[in-house]
Amino acid sequence: MTTESGADSEAKQPQENKETEKAKSKAAEPASPVQLPAAAGHSTPARKQQDSLDEDQLSHSSSRLSRSPLKGVKKAKIMQCKVTLLDNSDYTIDVEKGARGQMLFDKVCEHLNLLERDYFGITYRDVENQKNWLDPSKELKKQIRTGPWNFAFNVKFYPPDPVQLAEDITRYYLCLQLRDDVVSGRLPCSFATHTVLGSYTVQSELGDYDHEELGSDYLSELRLAPNQTKELEEKVMELHKSYKGMTPGEAEMHFLENAKKLSMYGVDLHHAKDSEGVEIMLGVCSSGLLIYRDRLRINRFAWPKILKISYKRNNFYIKIRPGEFEQFESTIGFKLPNHRAAKRLWKVCVEHHTFFRLVSPEAPPKKFLSLGSKFRYSGRTAGSDPTGQLSDH
């Protein structure tokens, strides 16, 4: 309700009291025994005069309300979010500061016309410049504490078999992510594999080889490998010439078939130290937890073999199921750079274990996820639908 104060209010009060008394006396009069037809009632001069008076009062009241400021209504603070997409373009959107991560993720997916959304996520950099996955259930302002609201759209769960994906557009975005993984060195591969992957990338983006249209130096403008050489470009061109008639969708499928065979495909790496203080890397992927030393995999713990995962301060622990000739369970500990890194690794393990191991999210077994964190993966899983069209649970 809007209230007024001052001389205007006092001047209007007697007039309003008179009108109120008139209304009361009119209401007390007995009803007329003669009832007019509806059309006649609308054309009565007295009725017209009364309607005109009511309209004037309503108009005058509305104008007073429009001039009166609304009290107690807080205007939502709008923040501008910039999301770097997989093709390196930027998508800018204004959101309320209190909006949750799911809202931003949905807006980006709508912009991309993406239906198979569950393999993807949004990342941001914290104050230590570490990559974190945006939690869809939490407010943005509680995750981005300082600085500009800059994000990136990335593949979060790499499907072990991309053929399971139902949409061509989903495979295309997966290809874009893998191309970046290759060029950045996150997905190392041999010279021969670089040429094969590069040739399918060129066929997908440029179509059939045409010397008159493309010339002989067209590959120098494309980034195909971390250390791109003239020799690599010549090999890629030879293969590109042989792909005449291959559609972009077919080229992307061939690209994925070769990329998924690489040992580091879909592995999320985290710096750590073993119990002896030796520098190692812990890799989380669809099949389990991998241990690397000097870029060589020295151990692998499949998800079914892991009974419990936990963290305390900057320590990360996994409890292993006893082997065929073992009697007792064993616990292996790793030291992470800090508490936040340990929690980040723990959270990624929970999400991957749930997404790839379960048909649908369920309550975790007692003590499987321990030490007080309230986080629980609540999204959809890879096993929800064998066609890749995941269903809500």
Burial (CB count within 10 angstroms: exposed 0-12, middle 13-18, buried 19+), residue 91: middle
Do the bridges between strand 131-133 and strand 90-96 make them parallel or antiparallel, or are there none, so unpaired?
A: unpaired
Q: Residue 317 burial by CB count (10 A; 0-12/13-18/19+): exposed, middle or buried?
A: middle
Give the tokens for residue 106.
């949905």
**Cβ-based neighbour number of residue 235 at 10 Å:** 18
Domains and CATH numbers, the chain: 78-155 (3.10.20.90), 162-260 (1.20.80.10), 268-357 (2.30.29.30)
**How far are the Cα atoms of 27, 43, 44, 46, 48 from residue 40, in angstroms, in the given order?**
21, 5, 6, 12, 11
Out of 8-17, 95-104, 158-167, 303-312, pick the least confident. Answer: 8-17
Quick one: pLDDT at residue 74?
61
Q: What is the predicted pLDDT for the residue at 76?
A: 67
186: closest CA among 265, 71, 279? 265
Mean pLDDT of 154-163: 96
For residues 128-139, average pLDDT: 93
Q: Given this model, what pLDDT does residue 392 score?
A: 37
Asked whether the predicted pLDDT for residue 32 surpasses 80, the reply is: no
Does the pLDDT of residue 298 top 90, yes or no?
yes
Q: Residue 110 corresponds to which amino acid?
A: E
Q: Which pLDDT value is given to residue 8?
A: 46
Q: pLDDT-based confidence at 57, cuts 50/70/90? A: low
Residue 62 has pLDDT above 90, yes or no: no
Q: Rounded distance, CA 131 to CA 344, Å? A: 9
Element (H, E) at 288: strand 288-293
Q: Which tens digit of pLDDT belongs to each residue from 342-367? A: 999 999 999 999 999 865 444 455 54
pTM confidence score: 0.73
For residue 149, the surrounding DSSP H or E stretch is strand 149-155
341: pLDDT confidence band, cut at 50, 70 and 90? very high
- Among 111, 112, 158, 154, smallest CA distance to 134 is for 154
